[in-house]
Amino acid sequence: MAIKTDLFDLTGKVALVTGGASGIGLAIARAFLEHGARVIVGSRTQSKVDDAVRQLDAIIPNDDDDLTVGGVSLDVQSEDSINHAVKKAMDLLGGLHIVVNSAGIMCKKPTFDLTDQEANQLYDIHVTGALRVSQAAGHIFREQHDGCIINIASIGSYVSLTEVTAYACAKSAMMGLTHSLANEWAKYGIRTNGIAPGFIPTDLNRKLIEGTDRGRRILEHTPMARFGDSAEIAGAAVYLASPAASFVNGVTIPVDGGYLACGAGDSVAPWEKDA
């Protein structure tokens, strides 16, 4: 097999990013554009989609002959909405090669108080929603024998986080979905991998970790002694979508500043520097 000279080139690829109008999803969409892909961002809120498209279009502007970015109202709980988004990617940008399942919500409350409805909604959006999107795109990927699925899991897929039980369960299931699709669909030319972000301040969790005791304890157990940035997750997504990862299938990559590696050792708490 010939070795490609530009291992991270996504030129000619079209990506659909669910939850792509903000946070990690938007950062991934931006990075894909910067590496040559064309991108459709999807989110339930049309105004957020429109704003994201404006931001992305400022990076690599659309022209009349060659669109590079588009947006679509997308609800991963609706098969009709998903099919519409996939069709729009095909019609507007001429194909589909990459799907990023980044849509998600948060529910923080004591587990004793968690309702069935809340738990089921989290699971339906994160896991069943990702499955729906993967199935819709997978039919196209199988036909062309070429496709890449990237599921956004979480550090909570690996370790316990208090009072976010439904979220942690859903994100753990995302790893199971990644393994299953990687095993079953590789014969169709489809690679499925995941990313487990560490603690990245976004609209979902900012109030939980910035300036809180929870955030202080997180930093104390993060060897790099800081929160991450959405752009640092996007780098892993570019890798997984690119020719550099052509033999990578079924893995979930933690991007966490060393949080999972942290055991007993010297304190990395930022306030120790002032002691």
- Catalytic residue numbers read 167
Please state the length of the chain.
Answer: 275
**By C-alpha distance, which of 106, 133, 134 is closest to 121?**
106
Which alpha helices (H) appear in 64-222, and where do they start and end?
Answer: 79-93, 116-123, 129-144, 165-185, 206-209, 213-220
Q: At what angle do helices 165-185 and 129-144 cross, to 10 degrees?
A: 20
**How is residue 226 written in tokens?**
């800081």
CB 152 within 8 A of CB 102: yes
Order of strands across the sheet that contains 147-152: 69-73, 38-43, 14-18, 98-101, 147-152, 190-197, 252-255
E strand spans, the chain: 14-18, 38-43, 69-73, 98-101, 147-152, 190-197, 252-255
Within 13 Å and on the Cβ side, how many CA atoms surround 254? 15
- 149/179 Cα distance (integer angstroms): 11
